[in-house]
Each structure stands twice: as structure tokens, then as C-alpha cells.
Amino acid sequence: MKKITIYDTTLRDGTQAEDISLSVHDKLRITEHLDDFGVHYIEGGWPGSNPKDVEYFRQVRHLPLKHAKVAAFGSTRRGGITPGKDANLRAIVKSGAPVATIFGKSWDLHVRHALSVSKKENIAMIRESVGYVKQRLSEVIYDAEHFFDGYKANPEYTLQTLEAAERGGADVIVLCDTNGGTLPFEIAEIMAVVAAQIRTPLGIHAHNDSEMAVANSITAVRCGAVQVHGTVNGYGERCGNANLCSVIPNLVLKLNIPCLPRKALGRLTDLSRYVSEIANLPHYKRFPYVGESAFAHKGGIHVSAVRKAAETYEHVRPEWVGNIQRVLVSDLAGKSNILYKAQKFGLDIEGRSAEVRQIVQTLKQLESQGFQFEGAEASFEILMQNALNTSRTYFDLLGFRVINEKRGDRPTDCEATIMMRGPDGRVVHEAAVGNGPVNALDNALRKALYTFYPELKEVRLTDYKVRVLTEKRGTNANVRVLTESCDGEDCWGTVGVSENVVEASWQALVDSLIFKLMKDKRSRKSEGRRAR
């Protein structure tokens, strides 16, 4: 059976969606999750286009990736110059990425109006650019931009552009439906012609403007494509890209094509929700396979049948893709979800039904308020430890106050004071200023806790996001605060929800520091056991 490789372009194509902006740190976090999931290629960005992507490629080389190759993206050389003088191609080679993905124009319309060069010059640009990079990197993927539209307009010329990439030494030639308007039967007909003339392995890169990206990707694989490009959750420009969260299970479960190990699919829902949370977007509940509603049953006839035999209304088992069956207005799904997450965090609660019920009840109550624990694993572990009575009290808050003062046109002054009782009974009272009320409160909290826990000085707040949950209520809306903290060894996420952004931030900030103390305590116990 032919090997199908999965090429993720969430960090480049996905960020072209109008609602998405990822920091370098966001991109590195997603890279680690994609690698852990098992994708073969991660397109990190365009190192010749912006400083953020340059910095990503500088940092990503230090990640201990186990599965994925990182690819640097860029265009063919500019017209009228040699590849060695093209800043974009030089940036790709200098990026340190082991794989380059070069795109070129397949449609003569673009050659005339976008590049303003002759068709002959475009052919040379493709061949020379691919060849230049191939001499310097071990692997080059060629993206034939607008291929299907170009083929329909001028098939002879479009095939010549593919032959140019082949002569340049491309390892894979990817046929792109860049405008997203091609239908599956057209994919099949055109790929049959291409496969008869091009010896290089083919791939597919489909956009979703006609709601066909997943179908076109599956069709292309059936017609010989060995590489599939897409994004997590289908994020991308305009209507998005092929959704890998649908493509992958369709290949593995429906076509029995092992593009990834079947056991990896059990982490698919977590990956989907994680990327949504880091992108600061709500997770669409009706996503196939990974959505909250994908295996939810409400109608009485459906529920009655599913409880007897799940396959009556489920085309695959939800646990195969890391999801759960939900029977609405019941708690059947809640218990299994808690057991699944407990196992993920290394907590043994099998057989502890009372504690499980308590966690389910608490979780449902918090989720109704707007809490979401994907991307906030530390807060969820604290919740579970509290329910299991295995946590400890690290401090007692006696009170805090945050003051904002605005005078004329001067910047607003922010000061926070806090009073707490430590584990030894001492009471500390500290004050701090900051760049805004949340920063002032964070500074005051840390200043007070350093008295009892100097190891917290290792913790850095590396990300802070606020999402409005009830938009129609304006400034009275509930907000969710998601933070990420790191201590030089690990990073963890926490969450808080409130109508008051300071209170929501307080919840997340406290969890981030408590988790550090819990983590260090576990580490000391582990070291003690090894010493014995």
C-alpha cells in the first residue's frame, strides 16, 4: 500500500484566516502538538516575508521533534534575476528548515497579470528556483498554485510548468486548488492526465470555497496523490483549507489508508480543541468527528437506539477520534469524559464513583459559566485534585484592591495591594504598580508569594488572552482569560471566567502559580523515590 504523508499548513495558510493571529510562542506550542500527534510535515511560515516567521525558524530548530519535518515556504525567484540573488530563496535556505516548499504560477492568467513576465520566463523561474533550493536542502516540495483553474484554461502550458518543477528536482509536486472552486469529478479527470505525464509523486492542496476541500483531497488520494495538505479545523484564507481533522479519519477509518497510526486518532479531538483555544476562537461544535455535537443524540428514537447499539446512529466509534458520545440532558457522557481526562493527567480515579460524580457536577457548573479547559490543563488538574482531596492550601487570600487613576491626558496609573496569610500563619501585605490593573495585580501577587515560595520567581507569564463570551451584553459581558506560564522546563495553561476581567485574570494567575508548586512537589517526591 502506498504511503500517504500529511502536510500541515496551519501555521502559514491557517493564519491567513481573518480571525487568526498567532505569536511565535503560539506557533511553537502548536508545532509541538502537531509533532506529538504524528503529522509528517509542518509548514512553519514564510521566512522571507516577516520577522515573526524568521524568529519562528530560529527557535523551532531547538524543539526535539520526534515525527515532523518543518518546512519553510516561499515563492519562485523574481523575474529577470538569478535564484542566488533572490532574497526570498536565500531566506528559505538560511532558515535552517530541512524542507522547502516553493510555489509557482500554473495559470497563464497569473503569469500575465500577477507576475508580468512571459510564459517562457515563468517556466525558467520554476525550474531554476526548485533546482537552486534542491542543491542546498535535502527535500523540496513544489506547490503548483492555481493548478486546476490553470489546467482548465490552458492545459498544455499548465503541464509544462509541472515538467519544469520535475526537471528542477522537486520531490513532490502538489496540485493546488487555490481558488477552491474545483469539483471532485474534475479533480479525478485532471489528475488522470497529470499522472500519465508526470513521474514525480503528486500531492493535493485544496481550499474550501465550494465546500469541497475534504472531498477533493480524498478524491485526489484515490487518484494517486501521496501527500495531502491541510490545516487543523480547516482554518485558512476566505472559506479555509481542507480540514485535516476530517481528512485524516476519512483516510484511516473509511479507506483503510494508514496515513497516521490508528492509535494517534485518539488524540485528534484534543488537537482540534487545543488549536482552537490557542487561536482564541470558539471550537465549532458541529465539526465532523471532533465537534462537541458530532456524537450527540437528542431525539428520543435516536437515544433509544444508540443505547442499545451505538452504530445505529454513529458512523464510527467516537473514542476512535478522541471524542465522546453524548446523550443530551443526561450525564452519560460526563463520567466517561472525566475518566478519560483523569487518565491523561495520570490520576487514578477508576472505581471512585463518588469523586467522579463530584467532578462531573463541578465541571458542568463551570462550563455553564464559560470555563473551558482545553488549553488550560493546569486548571483542570487543580480542579480534579481539589475534588479528590489531594490538594493543599498554599495561602489564604485576605483581600486585594486594584486602583486605576486617570488625570487629564496622562497615562492611567495602576496600583494593586494584596494581603494574604502564608502556610506558616504569617500575614504579608504588599503593593505593586503595573501596566494596567491585571499586570499590577500579578506583580503584587508574586511579590507576596515570593515571601513563602521563592521558587515562583522561575515562573514567567508567556501568554495572556481574553475572550468575550456574551457579546450582546457589551461591557457587562462574561469574559474568559486564558494564560500560559513557563518555568524554563515546562509550560502550562490556566483559565478564569467572570464578568469582571480582573477577577477572571486573578483566577488564572493564581492557578498558574499553584500548579508550579504542585509540579515541584511531585518532582521532589519522584526524586525521593529514585534516591531510595
- DSSP state letters, 19-75: T----HHHHHHHHHHHHHHT-SEEEEE-TTT-HHHHHHHHHHTTS--SSPEEEEEEE
Same domain as 122, residue 191? yes
Determine the distance from the C-alpha atom of residue 181 to the mean position of all C-alpha atoms in its chain, rounded to a whole number.
Answer: 26
For residue 335, being part of any structural domain is answered with no
pLDDT tens-place string over residues 327-365:
654 344 456 556 656 665 666 666 667 777 777 778 778
All three cell numbers of 135: 542543491
Same domain as 442, residue 527? no
pLDDT tens-place string over residues 265-309:
999 999 999 999 899 898 898 999 999 899 988 776 776 787 788
What's the CA angle centered on 106, arms 122 and 17, to 5 degrees?
115
How long is the chain? 532
Cα–Cα distance, 312 to 296 (Å, whole number): 13
Q: Specify whether the CB–CB gap between 356 and 338 falls below 8 A.
A: yes
Identify the residue whose cell numbers are 474568559.
Answer: 480
Strand residues in 178-310 grouped as ranges (E) = 202-206, 227-230, 296-297
For residue 99, being part of any structural domain is answered with yes
Q: Provide CB contacts within 8 A for 51, sequence distance 6+.
A: none
For residue 333, being part of any structural domain is answered with no
pTM, full prediction: 0.74
- Name the domain boundary from 452, 478, 493: 452
For residue 493, being part of any structural domain is answered with yes
Same domain as 384, residue 423? no
All three cell numbers of 218: 480524498
Identify the residue whose cell numbers are 494574604.
Answer: 420
Same domain as 471, residue 437? no
For residue 44, being part of any structural domain is answered with yes
Cα–Cα distance, 94 to 401 (Å, whole number): 51
Same domain as 379, residue 485? yes
Same domain as 531, residue 413? no
Same domain as 111, residue 235? yes
Residue 401 belongs to domain spanning: 395-452
Cα–Cα distance, 55 to 515 (Å, whole number): 29
- Name the domain boundary from 260, 282, 309: 260
Same domain as 85, residue 26? yes
What is the structure's pLDDT at 244?
Answer: 98
What is the structure's pLDDT at 333?
Answer: 43
Same domain as 412, residue 484? no
- Name the domain boundary from 260, 275, 298: 260
Cα–Cα distance, 62 to 84 (Å, whole number): 27
Same domain as 437, residue 490? no
User: Where is average pLDDT lowest: 331-335, 371-375, 485-489, 505-509?
Assistant: 331-335
Same domain as 175, residue 124? yes
All three cell numbers of 116: 508580468
For residue 511, being part of any structural domain is answered with yes
Same domain as 408, residue 521? no
Q: Which of 410, 412, 411, 429 is nearest to 420 (CA)?
A: 429
For residue 327, being part of any structural domain is answered with no
Q: Specify whether the CB–CB gap between 524 and 530 falls below 8 A.
A: no
Domain count, the chain: 3
Looking up residue 480, the CATH number of its domain turns out to be 3.30.160.340
For residue 65, being part of any structural domain is answered with yes
Using the 8-state DSSP alphabet, how is residue 209 labeled? T
